[in-house]
Amino acid sequence: MEFIEIKNCYKVYKNGVTALADGNLSIEKGEFVFIIGPTASGKSTLLKMLYREEKPNKGEVYVGGINVVKLRNSRVYKLRRKIGIVFQDFKLLPKLTVYENVAYPLETYGLKGSDIKKNVLKALERVGLKDKYRSYPHELSGGEQQRVCIARAIVNEPMLIVCDEPTGNLDPDTSKEIMDVLLNINTELKSTIVMATHDKEIVNRLKKRVISIKDGIIISDKKKGKYENEVDKNIES
């Protein structure tokens, strides 16, 4: 079995919108994968299934051998300890320092203080923000805030990092910096990274695996794909 397996998944919301139709997908451990497609195509729904924010109406989702769909609600937190999530809108706690924001998930796990400090400083160093640990979110640029989000996502050295439009609010130069951080993490931690994005320049520059979704259907899956070839052409046809 691959690290991630999505088998015959259907997801239809109560308003009748089909977010995923007969989805089948396999991702190897350590892969870096882009999920692309127009707005409301099903990208975010697919990502949310990986960390059990959403469940399919039908089908199976496996992450690291765990059947996420059948996981009891009381056990979901154990799955999420192994998954880092990076959002477009940062979701930092404004009244906490950089250090406290990154430490927060470890504190909920009940780790002792010395381990928390070691892990937090290591994560901040990986994203180039070790000198900003006392700063508050409002004192940081957008790119720096996103780096804090990445540090928070990797502080537990997760097996999977899910990124939902992480460069959506950033300028091109800052977006490139963020992607360099993610690429280094992918190499150093061997974490699998699955990233939804609309950023054509990033997708075309990095030439990673590209999975295209339209109207809840996976229409293309290429090992070294490009954005234009995989999305625009299919939308126009």
Structure tokens at 166: 């992480």
Cα–Cα distance, 194 to 90 (Å, whole number):
17
Tell whether 178 is covered by a domain. Answer: yes
Asked whether residue 3 is domain-assigned, the answer is no
Tokens 């996981």: give the residue. Answer: 71
Taking only the tens place, the pLDDT of each residue in 104-162 is: 999 988 888 899 999 999 999 999 999 999 999 999 999 999 999 999 999 999 999 99
Phi, psi of 235 (to 5 degrees): -70, -40
Domain that holds residue 38: 30-52+72-236
| CA 94/CA 145 separation, integer angstroms | 11
Strand partners, 220: 212
The mean pLDDT of 44-73, rounded to a whole number, is 95
Name the domain count of the chain: 1
Mean pLDDT rounded to a whole number for the chain? 92
Q: How far apart are CA 110 and CA 167, in angstroms?
A: 32
Identify whether 15 is part of a domain.
Answer: no
Q: Token digits for 59?
A: 């089908």
List pLDDT tens digits, range 3-22: 999 999 999 999 988 999 98
Domain assignment present for residue 59? The answer is: no
In a domain, 64, yes or no: no
Domain of residue 204, CATH code? 3.40.50.300
